[in-house]
Structure 1
Amino acid sequence: MGNSKKDSKTKNKKVPLKGMMDNVMEQFNSAANHINLHPNIRKILSITNNEILVNFPVKMDNGEVEVFTGYRVQHNGALGPYKGGLRYHATVDLDAARALAMWMTWKTSLAGLPYGGAKGGIKIDPALYSENELERITRRFTYALADNIGPEHDIPAPDVNTNSQTMAWIADTYMSTRPPAQRSANQHVVTGKPDGSGGLEGRDRATGFGVYLTIKFWADKNDMELNGKKFIVQGFGNVGYWASHFLEKDGAKLVGVQDAQGSIQNQDGLDVEALFKYNLANKGTIVNYPDSTPVEKGEFFSLDCDICIPAALGNQITKKNAPNIKAKLIAEGANGPTNVEGEKILMERGIVIIPDILCNSGGVIGSYYEWLQNRSGEIWHLEEVMEKLRNKLKVSFDKVYNYSESEGIDMRTAAFCIAIERIEKAYVQRGIFP
């Protein structure tokens, strides 16, 4: 009964994230070995707590019904409610959600937040659906998840192809299913909401600001001036744009951008704000931007630059393109953008990686502040939010950097060690029921 045109397009647009679970498990085991993690705790953290799959029908604008598949994987909740994004993408499946949920557990633990890790979404290409259809799909997905989410249980947030409007629909649907006296107390069932619907001022830029800050912190530690440094960004959505915005303010030069439609470059520098306006005006693509030349997809990561920011999907830096990367620093704006084989090559070449669970943690830290704001009924202003983010990220960065230096290990393993040790401590102190 589905729309055959949409069905065929979705099927033909699969981009499997094969190997993401293998990557996160190898990263986990490497850190677990380094800290001699207790075998029982290793068993617990190696698997997910809950995996929810829902199939739900939605009526399209033309009156036909399509059935969608949605996922929510809850990896671990030892430190608090599950926390993690919902993405709308053709690559969404259980394996991808498992890996991303596990990364979220490490990310929230590393940041010192009272959260566990979760991830999920809908297997869909949102570009094929109208705004009204996406609203109905989102609301029906929320209803299907039912009591598997909640402000003190599992708190979703925006991710790939979802935004503040998506979160507003989820919050409204969830609150509408609660008893009248409980509705206002459930506003923080999601974070990343619009400002007027309980959102946090500055949440839109929190992830990209965090990417910029970790680059800045690393540069300061290594006596490197950002002024005049060249950087490239894969993905010019919320994360890529804001990271570029703040880097440009520090004098760095954006020389290359890649999105799902193509790649561009200008070694003299691309104007970030002009490119952002062009992107908005051209249905979310930077292709054919006037002040640029096109770049072949496979050549993007080999562009001449000092800093590379993969801020799109997972498994983008691999053994195929890692040997040609010219950047001296990789700042992982996306989750799992570097696979294990690619990382080994980068490390052998002396290229530093600021790992995803540190680099892009500004988003979940911002989400935490929004959650707190909703719970307490406070309203924080932008300057206060940005200062809170800066302070929190500085603590996390210094912990990882210093641990890496003292132990003689890479920053990713250091970040994992710190994150896992915090969860291990919780299990040791509380014990295992029964």
Structure 2
Amino acid sequence: MSTLQEKKPATMYENVMQQYNQVANLVGLNENIKKILGITNNEIIVHFPVKMDNGEVKIFTGYRVQHNNALGPYKGGLRYHPTIDVDDAKALAMWMTWKTSLAGLPFGGAKGGIQLDPREHSLAELERITRRFTYALGDNIGPDQDIPAPDVNTNPQTMAWILDTYMSTKSPSSRSHNNHIVTGKPVGSGGLEGRDRATGFGVFLTIKLYLASQGKTLEGKTFIVQGFGNVGQWASQFMVEEGAKLIAVQDAHATLYKEEGIDPITLTEHTQPRKGSIAGFTEAEEIAPDDFFGLECDVLIPAALGNQINQDNALSVKANLIAEGANGPITTEGEEVLLKRGITIIPDILCNSGGVIGSYFEWLQNRHGEIWQLDEVMQKIEKKLTENFKRVEKAVEENEVDWRTAAYIIAIHRIELAYTQRGIFP
């Protein structure tokens, strides 16, 4: 009997550490700064009771990991998902540090969430869970300390509950100054016009910019999307408006295919009364989930969860371009296979950064007491994203590296510069 055990797939945290160490060694990052950036600043785990609609009390576990704040307050989303744990939160927080740094924003990186499946709870229960989680976090979050935002299975309503709970715990004199405790709020509660589509717009824009750098356009290009939440929906709409054709969509419940093209608006309308599920959509054929990545297409947009593309299914990918709408959707082993096959990957810290850029403008809008219109907001996001894209494109050419490595080089260098100039306390 063989004593050899099958190698376990790398976790998201192991992936992000491999990515970080590889680039840190490549650029000769100062060893002391390398130690600092290789760990998190704070890992907050809270257990809290919430009374369910039937009177039963359940205990929930929530996380908030704060990776680094050398460039500014911690910034990052909160996700509600059964699989979220402290290691996932650590990985996602580190990615947020690189993302905000690459974008040139005055933010650090954080991430968190609650272990739960929101489909198993009523709206009233989700409100009580969110408010109790916010209370449990206490002063670990704040408009100049740590600013949460929506992520997987959270939305503007979730942010509104956090905002109200946080403000309710503060003195009356300070409440009016705390609107920017969260971003991604409803517009009526101080949210930003266009924040809902900012991440999906960024995915679309980086694809468009990449194709333009190759002398191509989106007209007639076929694409497939994994995950049809906020990011997948908006990215698809922008892509189709530019002349591309959505031929397949996959979520946790179904995999849809239609060679003639799927209308993303019609599919979005189908998902709304079904808690986001694409299952049962009659205007496309349902195919086996394992066939999804192997579909013939020009562009693949993984916009679901992490570690979806690995060394096994990476061999079946037919797309020439992968745009990471999700955080960490490709394992390091899977990426190695893809790069060897000549497939270009627009990395998450660039590709889906439209969301945090939109969040930055919402944070500014609240701090300054201003209200910006949709067209103005989208122009700001497009300008910032285009500048970031051009910087990464230049780094790819100058360093003769892939796009992720180039993006990491820029992100890590900016933080290194901050530590070098400021020194390390004490």
Same fold judged by TM-score > 0.5?
yes
User: Could you report, residue by residue, the CA deviation over 1:349-373 in whole angstroms, capped at 9, with x for unpaired residues?
Assistant: 0000000000000000000000000
How far apart, CA to CA, are the structure 2 residues paired with 1:224 and 1:128? 45
Residue 214 of structure 2 is aligned with which of 222, 229, 240? 222
Q: Which moved more, 1:337-346 or 1:293-302?
A: 293-302
Who is 2:199 aligned against? 207
Aligned to 1:389: 381
Which one of the candidate residues 222, 226, 236 is aligned to 1:234?
226
Matches within 5 A, 1:262-301: 262-301=254-293
Q: Provide the C-alpha distance between the structure 1 equivalents of 2:391 and 2:21, rounded to a whole number of angstroms.
A: 20
Kept in 2, the 8 Å contact 1:70–1:141? The answer is yes
- Counterpart residue number, 1:147: 139
Which of 396, 409, 415 is the matching residue for 2:407? 415
Correspondence 1:261 to 2:234: no
Contact 2:10 2:331 in 1 (8 A): no
For the 8 Å contact 2:84–2:114, the answer to whether it is kept is yes
SS at structure 2 position matched to 1:345: helix
- Alignment match, 1:38: 30
Shift, 1:285, TM fit:
1.3
Instruction: Map residues 302-381 of structure 1 onto 2, 5 A cutoff.
Output: 302-381=294-373
* Superposition deviation, residue 57 in structure 1: 0.2
CA distance in 2, matches of 1:166, 1:17: 33
* Per-residue deviation, residues 288-345 of structure 1 (Å, max 9, x unmatched): 2112111211111111110000000000010111000000000000000000010000
Letter in 1 for 2:281: Y
- What is the Cα deviation at residue 282 of structure 1? 3.0
**In structure 1, distance between residues paired with 2:12 and 2:274:** 32
CA contact (8 A) 1:17 1:314 kept: no
TM-score by length of 1: 0.96
Question: Is this contact kept in 2: 1:17–1:96, CA < 8 A?
Answer: no
Question: How many angstroms apart in 1 are the aligned matches of 2:195 and 2:277?
Answer: 23
Q: Which amino acid aligns with 1:383?
A: D
Distance 1:280 1:171 in 2: 25
Whether the 8 Å CA contact 2:358–2:381 is kept in 1: the answer is yes
Aligned pairs, how many?
A: 419
Shift of 1:235: 0.6
Q: Secondary structure at the match of 1:124?
A: coil
RMSD: 1.0
**Aligned mates of 1:231, 1:407 — CA distance in 2:** 29
Q: Distance in 2 between matches of 1:291 and 1:165?
A: 31
In structure 1, what is the Cα distance between the partners aligned to 2:379 and 2:90? 33
Letter matched to residue 131 of structure 2: R
Tell me if 1:25 matches 2:33.
no
Preserved contact between residue 79 and residue 423 of structure 1 (Cα < 8 Å): yes
Describe how 1:102-117 pairs up with structure 2 within 5 A.
102-117=94-109
Per the alignment, residue 7 of structure 1 pairs with none
State how far apart, in whole Å, the 2-side matches of 1:382 and 1:208 are: 15
Q: CA deviation at 1:276?
A: 1.0
Distance in 1 (CA, whole Å) between partners of 2:47 and 2:200 is 33
- Look up the SS of the partner of 1:401 in the other structure: helix
Matches within 5 A, 1:73-152: 73-152=65-144
Q: In the alignment, what sits opposite 2:3?
A: none
How big is the shift at 1:406?
1.3
Structure-1 separation of matches of 2:273 and 2:54: 27
- What's the secondary structure of 2:384's corresponding residue? helix
Structure 1 residues 18, 92: CA separation in 2 closer, same or farther (over 3 Å shift)? farther
1:63-121: CA deviations, max 9, x gaps? 11000000000000000000000000011100000000000000000000000000000
Task: For 2:245, give the aligned amino acid.
Answer: K
Q: Which amino acid aligns with 1:407?
A: N
Give the distance between the partners of 1:141 and 1:269, measured in 2 at CA: 42
Following TM superposition, where does structure 1 have runs of at least 4 consecutive aligned residues deviating by more than 6 angstroms?
none
Residues 130-189 of structure 1 deviation map (CA, whole Å, 9 limit, x = unaligned)? 000000000000000000000000000000000000000000000000000000101110
CA shift in 2, pair 1:17/1:318, >3 Å = closer
Cα offsets for 1:203-247 (capped at 9, x unmatched):
000000000000000010011121110000001110000000000
Letter in 1 for 2:94: M
Distance 1:142 1:18 in 2: 31
Other-structure match for 1:156: 148
Give the Cα–Cα distance (whole angstroms) in 2 for the partners of residues 267 and 33 of structure 1.
45
Distance 1:152 1:225 in 2: 41
Q: Distance in 2 between matches of 1:283 and 1:237?
A: 10
Of 397, 405, 413, the residue aligned with 1:405 is 397
Q: Which runs of 5+ in 1 are unaligned?
A: 1-15
